[in-house]
Amino acid sequence: MSSIRRAGVSVAESPLLCVEDLHVTYHTPTGMVQAVKGVSFELGREKLGIVGESGSGKSQTGRAILGLTSPGGEVQARRLEFQGTNLLHADRRTLRKIRGAGISMIMQDPKYSLNPVMTVGKQIEEAFLIHSNDSKREAYARTLAMLRAVKIREPERVYRAYPHEVSGGMGQRIMIAMMMIPEPSIIIADEPTSALDVTVQLQVLAVLDDMISERGMGLIFISHDLNLIASFCDRILIMYGGQVMEECKAADLQQAQHPYTRGLLGCLPRLDGSQKELAVLQRDPAWLDTQGSTS
C-alpha cells in the first residue's frame, strides 16, 4: 500500500471505514425483508467494487453507510465507523458534517440528482460553502477550478448552465465536481456511469480515477457490470441475497472460486470467443447462510 499520509495518520494502520456485520431490514405489511444480511468490510485508500444483480443489497449497503436508508428501514451493525466516528449512534449534526465533507455519494442519474432550477455553478458552490466559511469569491474560484479538474472545457459557460442544458456525460462530471469540492475522504458511487455510452462512461471514470489517486481517497464503486468493476477497481466484493459471497482482488476475478461468481462470469456473452449457448446461472439456496452472517 502506498505511503500517503493525511493528518499524520498512516494508511496501513487505520482503515477509513469499518463495516462489521451490517444488517438492513425493512418491515413491510407482508413481512420482514432483509435487504442486507451481515455484510463486513474495511475500506482503505483504494477502489473497492461492490458487484451484484438487482436485489443483491449492494445499493442498500452504500446507502446505509451514509444513513440514507429510506424510512421504514432499520440499520443494525456491530460496527459502522468512519475514521473513529460511530455512524450508527452519531447525532444529526455530526452526520450532517460527515455527509459531503467526510463521505459523499454519486448517484446513477445526474438528471434526477441535480436541482433543475439552479445553475450548475451555484449548486457546486453550495456544496462547498456548506462545509466551509470561505467567501463567495473563493467559492466561485474553487468551483471553476473544480470544473476544470473534471475536464470540462468551458468552465465559465457551464457554471451558468442549467442541468437540462448539459449532456449526460457532462452532468455526471458535474456531479463528481460537486461531490469532490468539500474534499471528502470517501466517495460512494452507486452505478455512476450506467446511464452513459461506453466511451463517455470510461472518460468519466478516468476523471474519477485520477482525482481519487491524486487525493488519496477511498472509493466504494457499486455496479452490476462485472467487467467494468474488474478493470476499474482494486478489490471486489460479490454480493448476492444481501450477503457477501466472495471477496477477491480485481485482477483475480477470472479465477474466482465461488459458484455464484463463476456463474455470473459464465453467463456473460464474450467478444473474444464464440459460445453457442450461454451458461445459465443455477442459484443454490445453500449460498445464503440462514444465520444471516458471513464471517
- Could you give the CA distance from residue 266 to residue 278 in angstroms, rounded to a whole number? 7
Residue closer to another protein by CB (options 109, 209) is 209
Site for another protein, rule CB under 8 A: 53-54, 197-203, 205-206, 209, 224, 226-228, 230-232, 263-264, 267-275, 277-281
Nearer to another protein by C-beta: 71 or 273?
273
Least distance CB 221 / another protein (angstroms): 10
Strands (DSSP E) found in the chain: 5-6, 9-10, 17-28, 31-43, 47-51, 73-76, 79-82, 85-86, 103-106, 186-190, 218-223, 235-240, 243-249
At a CB cut-off of 8 Å and minimum separation 6, what does 240 contact? 52, 53, 56, 260, 287, 288
Nearest to 260 by CA among 250, 242, 246: 246
CB 280, min distance to another protein, A: 6
User: What stretch of H or E contains 265?
Assistant: helix 259-266
For the bound state, the minimum distance from the C-beta of residue 89 to another protein, rounded and expressed in Å, comes to 36
CB-wise, 7 or 280, nearer to another protein?
Answer: 280
Closest CB to another protein among residues 49, 121: 49
Beta bridge mates, 188:
105, 220
CB of 146 to another protein, least distance (A): 20
Residue linked to cell 449532456: 167
Closest contact distance (angstroms) between CB of 274 and another protein is 7
